[in-house]
């Protein structure tokens, strides 16, 4: 009988929320269309998996044969394109300020003559370091091109002196580096950034839904009506609500007199509030967002992984962790709103927590390099731990055992936040005088 009552509370709460979503297209969009559009838009943005043809300018003050060769090599580099040759530094500076180019290669006067006479002949690279990714790629590419050109010039000089080509190559560079990229060897930015940005954005949307789903009941002073509806013992048809209950669900018939009656009624029943009924009621209330975001998690992972290279257990572990992150996000949003008795404060808190969380996750800026205080904050954020698991399982093919502590941690955090949300809902029911805050 008790389990039947809990199941009824869950089903009635889910029906209550379903009716609200059907009659409020913007709330429904937060559950369905906005996350879907977010996933597809991010994946489209990173559809060009590699950064190529970054525009640079060249100021050739030498116009000799070696300088011409250097310009051809720069333009042939897949990461670079020589957009224009500039004749004055003022033209080049204006182009950089207008972002027509991101760097300027300056070839000095007498460049070819100095090389032919075995004198130092430096090439100047002026790069807009404000754009970290652009500048890093440009510096690496230019260094590689000029290094190749320099090696060719020096080897030719040694060959003219009587060395064999193999001896000249060894004499020029007796120590070489053999580089092996262990993960993401082709610098796939869709894998590096796209697959990790999507969970971060869904985490933000989930926290907003968590705050608004319970927060609107506080704002509209209908929290007690929702609880009385899910706690009823009558066996009404759950496929439809009565006209009065529809008005409760859509919040279209609220007025001050009804709110006062609600407060008086709750003052007489708040001592009988059942934690178990509240728990299953909250699960029913968040059932549709949880279901929808579980599907979006599956879509995001399907897009983010080459299916033939990822082990099935790694996919399952990552998907389970992704789903736990979404449920945890819903609970955190509810906690911030219920704790403050204000939807506005709840939404502000979720934004403060979730929006910058990607910056602390160690994806774009190395976690080991941030300050100790920032590390403490990063360790508190659930997104940090999920992305660590995400990268380990989907991009580094790490053993599942390495990520088990993160899975257990997400499970424990989800259970704790769900319990806290239930306790805070019980407290909110006991204080109807604090309802109505925007």
pLDDT digit string (tens) for 128-141?
Answer: 888 878 888 899 88
- Token couple for 262: 């609600």
Residue 387 pLDDT > 90: yes
* pLDDT-derived band at 1, boundaries 50, 70, 90: low
pLDDT digit string (tens) for 147-197?
Answer: 888 877 777 777 777 777 777 666 666 666 767 767 765 567 777 788 899
Distances (CA, A) of 199 to 189, 195, 333, 361: 15, 7, 16, 12
The arithmetic mean of pLDDT across residues 375-379, rounded, is: 91
Q: CA 68, CA 72: separation in Å to the nearest integer?
A: 6
H runs (alpha helix) in 118-255: 132-160, 165-172, 189, 195-219, 223-230, 243-250
Residue 253: closest CA among 225, 227, 286, 281: 225
Q: Is 160 exposed, middle or buried (0-12, 13-18, 19+ CB in 10 A)?
A: exposed
User: Token match 């943005």: residue?
Assistant: 45
pLDDT digit string (tens) for 72-95?
Answer: 989 998 889 999 899 888 898 899
Say how far residue 77 (Cα) sits from the centre of its chain. 31
More confident residue, 154 or 112: 112
Q: Is 312 exposed, middle or buried (0-12, 13-18, 19+ CB in 10 A)?
A: exposed
Residue 272 pLDDT > 70: yes
Model-wide pTM > 0.85: no
pLDDT digit string (tens) for 307-341?
Answer: 557 888 999 999 999 999 999 999 999 999 999 99
Q: CA 120, CA 117: separation in Å to the nearest integer?
A: 9
Least confident segment among 234-238, 402-406, 429-433: 234-238
Residue 52: closest CA among 192, 198, 146, 187: 187
């Amino acid at each position: 009988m008790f389990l039947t009552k809990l199941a009824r509370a869950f089903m009635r709460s889910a029906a209550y929320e379903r009716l609200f979503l059907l009659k409020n297209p913007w709330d429904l969009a937060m559950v369905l269309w906005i996350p879907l559009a977010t996933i597809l838009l991010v994946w489209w943005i990173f559809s060009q998996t590699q950064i190529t043809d970054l525009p640079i300018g060249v100021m050739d003050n030498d116009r000799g044969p070696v300088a011409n060769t250097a310009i051809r090599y720069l333009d042939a580099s897949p990461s670079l394109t020589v957009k224009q040759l500039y004749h004055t530094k003022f033209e080049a500076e204006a182009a950089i300020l207008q972002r027509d180019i991101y760097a300027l290669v300056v070839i000095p006067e007498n460049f070819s003559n100095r090389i032919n006479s075995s004198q130092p002949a430096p090439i100047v690279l002026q790069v807009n370091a404000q754009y970290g990714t652009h500048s890093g790629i440009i510096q690496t590419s230019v260094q590689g091109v000029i290094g190749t050109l320099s090696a060719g010039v020096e080897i030719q000089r040694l060959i003219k002196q009587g060395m064999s080509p193999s001896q000249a190559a060894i004499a020029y560079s007796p120590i070489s580096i053999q580089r092996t990229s262990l993960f993401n060897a082709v610098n796939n930015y869709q894998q590096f950034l796209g697959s990790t940005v999507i969970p971060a954005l869904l985490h933000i949307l989930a926290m907003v839904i968590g705050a608004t789903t319970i927060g609107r009941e506080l704002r509209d002073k209908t929290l007690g009506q929702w609880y009385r509806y899910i706690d009823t013992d009558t066996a009404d048809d759950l496929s439809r609500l009565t006209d009065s209950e529809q008005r409760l669900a859509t919040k279209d018939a609220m007025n001050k007199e009804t709110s006062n009656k609600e407060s008086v009624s709750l003052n007489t029943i708040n001592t009988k509030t059942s934690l178990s009924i509240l728990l299953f009621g909250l699960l029913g209330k968040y059932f549709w967002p949880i279901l929808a975001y579980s599907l979006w998690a599956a879509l995001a992972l399907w897009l983010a992984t080459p299916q033939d290279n990822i082990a099935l257990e790694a996919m399952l572990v990552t998907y389970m962790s992704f789903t736990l992150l979404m449920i945890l996000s819903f609970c955190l949003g509810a906690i911030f709103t219920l704790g403050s008795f204000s939807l506005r404060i709840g939404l502000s808190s979720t934004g403060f927590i979730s929006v910058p969380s990607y910056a602390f996750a160690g994806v774009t800026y190395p976690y080991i390099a941030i300050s100790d205080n920032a590390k403490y904050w990063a360790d508190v954020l659930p997104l940090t731990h999920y992305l660590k698991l995400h990268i380990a399982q989907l991009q580094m093919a790490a053993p599942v055992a390495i990520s088990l502590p993160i899975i257990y941690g997400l499970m424990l955090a989800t259970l704790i936040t769900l319990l806290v949300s239930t306790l805070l809902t019980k407290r909110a029911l006991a204080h109807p005088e604090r309802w109505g805050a925007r």
